[in-house]
Amino acid sequence: MPTSLDWTRGAGAGEPVPCVICGQPAICRSPKGTPVHKVCAEMWTEQQEQTRKAVA
């Protein structure tokens, strides 16, 4: 099942700066203030979950 992050609280926007995952300009900020596209963060989270399952 694809991961869907809820950024309705705490996420923000700012000037376009490189996404920490793909490097393309992003105005989105994670709830911690990191410049990242929501879709990039969801893909990264899904990959991390699958890695944890493979190791367990």
Whether 10 shows a pLDDT value over 70: the answer reads: no
Please report whether residue 4 resides in a domain: no
Whether 1 shows a pLDDT value over 80: the answer reads: no
The mean pLDDT of the chain is: 86
Q: Determine contact, residues 12/29, Cβ cutoff 8 Å.
A: yes
- Full residue range of the structural domain in which residue 20 is found: 12-55
Mean pLDDT over residues 5-18, rounded?
80
User: In this structure, is the dihedral angle defined by the CA atoms of residues 17, 13, 32 and 21, taken in order, positive or negative?
Assistant: negative
Please report whether residue 28 resides in a domain: yes
Total domains, the chain: 1
Please report whether residue 2 resides in a domain: no
Mean pLDDT over residues 38-44, rounded?
92
Q: Determine contact, residues 36/14, Cβ cutoff 8 Å.
A: no
Please report whether residue 41 resides in a domain: yes
Query: Facing residues of 10 across strands?
Result: none
Please report whether residue 7 resides in a domain: no
Mean pLDDT over residues 17-42, rounded?
92
Please report whether residue 5 resides in a domain: no
Q: Determine contact, residues 17/35, Cβ cutoff 8 Å.
A: yes
Largest CA distance in the chain: 40
pTM: 0.77
